[in-house]
């Protein structure tokens, strides 16, 4: 066999070293995506494959949820959970430890000061009450990568009631998949020096089997739901059109029909 030339050996060694360095970088970093999200170690939080986004995103895998994050708007485009009673029937108390996500660069993240005196609450997309099983899950729910600027009255009123109804539904069925996120119309208003985008509406999609219930509420104080959320119910397809997201790329979830599961939780 003819020996390799020195230049060829050098090229091979350089390529191997570069590959090792790249692998080391990827192991410790959140996944970045242009248009398509992926979550490897928490892919089971998605009901039907990794959602697709129309913009570049950073995918942040957490103990019990995954955030598909938009570093330009400084908010998640969607936060996904496989919600099970074991996650919210624990004894861990609410932490209120709001903090920047440690896996985001400073330039990608909202800051605590952005929300102060803004008139908006730091609105959880995956609510803290879903994560009372471990301290880790509770603390991670307070990362700003799980927040959007939300009207305070909506946050503590009808939206909190919808979150509670969804936990009730998960308890009834054993588990459900949930996706929650913002909708923006036109050029959004922003808050703070980091220009965190304020959504015009917020959606929640709940999936059981191949059926889905989708709820869409304007980001303002709304009358109490009195345990009936059907006036805010839409189809998944309507939410997809409003967000530009493809929630279920596997094609196994009905996008058109209003599902009827958990009528006692949602009002019908």
Give me the active site residues, please: 124
Contact predicate 88/76, CB 8 Å: no
Tell me the DSSP string of 45-63.
GSSSS--EEEEEEEEEE-S
Q: Which of 152, 140, 141, 78 has its CA nearest to residue 115?
A: 152
- Give the separation between CA 104 and CA 187, rounded to whole angstroms: 24
Q: Taking the C-alpha atoms of 81, 87, 88 and 94 in order, what is their torsion angle to the nearest 10 degrees? A: -90
Q: Which of 143, 146, 180, 145 has its CA nearest to residue 162?
A: 180
Q: Which of 147, 206, 202 has its CA nearest to residue 178?
A: 206
Which residue is it, tokens 């985008």? 197
């Amino acid at each position: 066999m003819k020996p390799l030339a020195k230049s060829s050996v050098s090229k091979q060694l350089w390529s191997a070293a570069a590959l090792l360095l790249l692998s080391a970088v990827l192991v410790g970093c959140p996944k970045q995506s242009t248009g398509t999200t992926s979550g490897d170690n928490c892919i089971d939080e998605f009901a039907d494959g990794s959602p697709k986004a129309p913009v570049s995103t950073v995918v942040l895998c957490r103990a019990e949820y995954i955030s598909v994050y938009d570093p330009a708007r400084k908010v998640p485009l969607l936060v996904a959970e496989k919600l099970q009673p074991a996650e919210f029937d624990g004894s861990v108390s609410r932490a209120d430890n709001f903090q920047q996500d440690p896996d985001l660069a400073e330039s990608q993240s909202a800051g605590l000061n952005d929300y102060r005196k803004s008139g908006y609450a730091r609105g959880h997309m995956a609510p803290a009450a879903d994560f009372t099983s471990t301290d880790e899950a509770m603390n991670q729910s307070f990362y700003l990568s799980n927040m959007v600027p939300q009207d305070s009255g909506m946050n503590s009123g009808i939206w909190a009631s919808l979150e509670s109804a969804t936990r009730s539904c998960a308890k009834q069925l054993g588990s459900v998949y949930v996706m929650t996120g913002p909708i923006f119309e036109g050029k959004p208003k922003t808050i703070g020096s980091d220009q965190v985008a304020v959504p015009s509406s917020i959606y929640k999609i709940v999936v059981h089997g191949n059926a889905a219930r989708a709820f869409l509420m304007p980001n303002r104080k709304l009358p109490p739901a009195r345990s009936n959320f059907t006036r805010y119910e839409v189809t998944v397809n309507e939410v997809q059109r409003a967000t530009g997201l493809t929630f279920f790329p596997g094609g196994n979830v009905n996008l058109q029909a209003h599902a009827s599961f958990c009528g006692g939780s949602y009002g019908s």
